[in-house]
């Protein structure tokens, strides 16, 4: 058995993904009690995990440092990549939405300013609608942009809707659904085919059981 390195997205997705790996028999005890550590070895298997930011999961997988990665579909849509997207894990479900204050008019004729952390997804969405918008790239706390007049609306991820609610914003348009995906490095899929398909097949049966 060759070692398999798995890159996990730090934060929001961790709590959804760790139970899936446990259910396919991979020990995640170090990961669950991690402190500030970022690299972990599973006890009963030749599997190690690294915990990195969402967009870096794709970078580590694409460069073959990690064989497998778990990343949100949002990241795969926003950042050009050259990895195989193998399974929809069905966890970390959320939506891309256009949101704003109640006075926002989605059908207004003025050129809109849209604040977002996802300029590519945003421009593709409005281009498809035939609408010319100005995109303002923001790194976080996007919800305050329409409140402070930086933008007319935002394009962002909505999971529970709590952040929008607490900032007095409403959803005006739903763009698409998002969930966590298992991605694989292209060369690893050839070189470590058995090990990788062993994980993928087990993961798929756990997902079918869950349905």
Positions that interact with ligand PRP (CB under 6 A): 12, 140-142, 156-163
Closer to ligand PRP by CB, 132 or 159: give it.
159
Q: List C-alpha distances in Å: 156 to 19, 74, 135, 138, 163.
A: 27, 10, 13, 11, 11
- By beta-carbon proximity to ligand PRP, the closer residue of 131 and 159 is 159
> Nearer to ligand PRP by C-beta: 107 or 162?
162
State in angstroms the smallest separation of the CB of 182 from ligand PRP.
20
Indicate the SS3 state at residue 50. Answer: strand
Which of these, 147, 152, 171, 172, lies nearest to 161 by C-alpha position?
A: 171
- Shortest distance in whole angstroms from residue 114 CB to ligand PRP: 14
Q: Which is nearer to ligand PRP, 50 or 158 (CB)?
A: 158
Cβ at position 103, least distance to ligand PRP in Å: 21
Sign of CA dihedral 112, 113, 115, 121: positive
| Closest distance of CB 37 from ligand PRP, Å | 22
Alpha helices, H only, the chain: 14-23, 29-32, 54-62, 73-78, 119-128, 144-148, 162-166, 186-191, 193-210
Our CB check for ligand PRP shows the closer of 77 and 189 to be: 77
CB of 186 to ligand PRP, least distance (A): 28
Q: What b/e sequence results for 196-210 when a residue is b if at least 16 CB atoms lie within 10 Å of its CB, and e otherwise?
A: beebbebbbebbeee
Q: What residues contact 132, with CB distance under 8 A and at least 6 apart?
A: 111, 126
CB of 90 to ligand PRP, least distance (A): 17
Identify which of residues 104 and 197 has a Cβ nearer to ligand PRP in the complex.
104
Radius of gyration of the chain (CA): 19
């Amino acid at each position: 058995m060759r070692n398999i390195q798995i890159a996990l997205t730090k934060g929001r997705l961790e709590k959804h993904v760790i139970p899936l790996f446990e259910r396919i028999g991979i020990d995640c005890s170090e990961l669950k009690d991690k402190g500030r550590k970022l690299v972990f070895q599973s006890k009963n298997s030749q599997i190690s995990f690294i915990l990195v930011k969402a967009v870096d999961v794709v970078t580590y997988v694409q460069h073959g440092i990690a064989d497998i990665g778990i990343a949100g579909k949002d990241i795969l849509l926003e950042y050009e990549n050259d990895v195989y997207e193998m399974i929809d894990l069905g966890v970390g479900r959320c939506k891309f939405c256009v949101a704003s204050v109640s006075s926002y008019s989605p059908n207004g004729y003025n050129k809109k300013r849209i604040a977002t952390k996802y300029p590519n997804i945003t421009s593709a969405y409005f281009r498809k609608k035939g609408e010319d918008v100005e995109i303002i790239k923001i790194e976080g706390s996007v919800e305050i942009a329409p409140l402070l007049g930086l933008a007319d609306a935002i394009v962002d991820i909505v999971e529970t809707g709590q952040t929008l609610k607490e900032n007095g914003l409403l959803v005006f348009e739903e763009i698409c659904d998002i969930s966590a995906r298992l991605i694989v490095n292209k060369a690893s899929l050839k070189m470590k085919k058995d090990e990788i398909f062993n994980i993928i097949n087990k993961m798929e049966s756990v997902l079918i059981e869950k349905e």
